[in-house]
Amino acid sequence: MVTLRLLLGDQLTHTISSLQDIDIDKDVILMCEVVEEASYVKHHQKKIAFLFSAMRHFAQELRDKGYNMAYVKLDDKKNTQSFGSEVQRAIAEYQATKVVVTFPGEYRVLQEMKEWQKRYSTPVEIREDDRFLASPQEFADWAKGRKQLRMEYFYREMRKKYSILMDRDKPLGSKWNYDAENRKPPKSGLHVPQPYRVKCDKITQEVFKLVEKKFSHHFGDLKPFHYAVTREQALGALEHFIEERLVLFGDYQDAMIEGEPWMYHSHIGLYLNCGLLTPLECVKRVEEVYHQKNLPLNAVEGFIRQIIGWREYIRGIYWLKMPEYKQQNFLDAQRKLPSFFWDADTDMNCLKQCVSETKENAYAHHIQRLMVLGNFALVAGIHPDEVNEWYLIVYADAYEWVELPNVSGMILFADGGYLASKPYAASGAYINKMSNYCKNCRFKVSKKNGEDACPFNYLYWDFLMRNQDKLQKNHRVAVMYRTLARMKPERLEEITTDAQRFLDSLS
């Protein structure tokens, strides 16, 4: 009897649960490139190239190990261009009596998988994705009975569970969290190392031709391309970060410099999210080097918190609250996404920098995503559907499980505070503090109102005024409403006039 074992494009892990107990002589592993997944949103060209190349390399590794591979390329003549139809075709071709797959990363895919058993009259086993450190059920058990779900408390549980940066039952350094030490603005003379780069081999070059032929109308630059596409290369990217960037990652993880998209970040999110790296091995490796080289604890803890804290927490929220979470729009934001999110044609230099770098690299670091691009989407009142689709399209590490809670919850406060304790809105002063973007901007960050004023300055207050009924009771923004209450009527009128003028210009 043949078991068909389906691997998705974000399941490129040799120890994945769907491959455990495989009969190497009989079972068949199915992988497929389908238009349905490449185009349900128009993914960044570089994102498609990365995933297709990584998939093809992974399939070759499995062949080299002696597994029976059924790999369907996008341009194969028999390709039906959907997961479900390809599973059906493979069941018939290989006379499979069972289908095994690992729990997927998106709600819509899970719902489809649940229909396959009845639709194809074949047993379908959906196994837990044990690459994550907390199952959806474990997170739901932790969340049960809590009025608010704060990542910090979940993170502490993960630290204890896996004994990460622990001294028996206490955190190393006596503190759980060193975030307060990780907010230094950039200083002059900083040397930012070059990112990890690999040469494109024949497989990747073939993928380039495919993307150029089929997806050239999608957003983003296909080349230059230097991302890792194999596990060995992804491990190299991790080591490169540890050796050259980790020591300053903590201090400058929130800093932004014009023309420096990579800063001191690890750039491994896309490898974690597609399976070339696993979270626990990355955390353990960084902890090991911390003890060997006495690296700064604020850098090591900050990196580890992003993986076993924030990443796991975000996934837990997604599976706990779907499908209702996707419909959340607490602030009733209705504006369309401005065109400059696609072409970077704006006089706001911070936005121009972040959009241009996103277009080129299918990457931006978390403060660019949250406090520049996301901040603008929040204060401008852009509809969550528009913003979520954009983030899902443009970033190589974006899958709905990680993108949706970050955007709807953290960026847009669309869930009303279920995930974040306050809206992450800010004026131009924050961007000026944490970057050098304002130096080369047409707008003046020091001006509060008028056509030359930084739009963030009046949009911030206009956002608070528009949403006062919903936000004024939030204790974390109460001080800003007290400031607003002291403003003179003529200042309030200037804010409203400037904001309306600017927002009208977007359309």
Per-residue pLDDT, 180:
87
pLDDT digits (tens, 9 = 90+) for 32-75: 999 999 999 999 999 999 999 999 999 999 999 999 999 999 99
Q: Domain residues of the chain, as ranges? A: 2-127, 136-193+245-321, 340-506
Q: Which are the contacts of 490, defined by CB distance < 8 A and separation ≥ 6?
A: none
Q: Which are the contacts of 486, defined by CB distance < 8 A and separation ≥ 6?
A: none
Mean pLDDT of 268-273: 98
Per-residue pLDDT, 472:
92
Mean pLDDT of 490-504: 96
**2-127 placed in CATH 3.40.50.620:** yes
pLDDT digits (tens, 9 = 90+) for 356-369: 999 999 999 999 99
Residue 6 φ/ψ, nearest 5 degrees: -90, 130
Per-residue pLDDT, 72:
97
Per-residue pLDDT, 303:
97
Degrees to nearest 5, angle at CA 37 with 270 and 89: 125
- pLDDT category at 9 given cuts 50, 70, 90 is very high
Fold held by 340-506 = DNA Cyclobutane Dipyrimidine Photolyase, subunit A; domain 3 (1.10.579)
pLDDT digits (tens, 9 = 90+) for 307-349: 999 999 999 999 999 999 999 999 999 999 999 999 999 999 9
CATH number for the region 136-193+245-321 comes to: 1.25.40.80
Cα 267 from Cα 234, distance rounded (Å)? 10
- pLDDT category at 188 given cuts 50, 70, 90 is confident
Tokens of 402: 């990680």
Mean pLDDT of 265-281: 97
Same CATH fold assignment for domains 136-193+245-321 and 340-506: no
Q: Is pLDDT above 90 for 189?
A: no
- pLDDT category at 181 given cuts 50, 70, 90 is confident
- pLDDT category at 426 given cuts 50, 70, 90 is very high
Mean pLDDT of 105-123: 96
Residue 166 φ/ψ, nearest 5 degrees: -120, 145
Q: What is the mean pLDDT of the chain?
A: 96
Per-residue pLDDT, 52:
98
Mean pLDDT of 439-454: 97
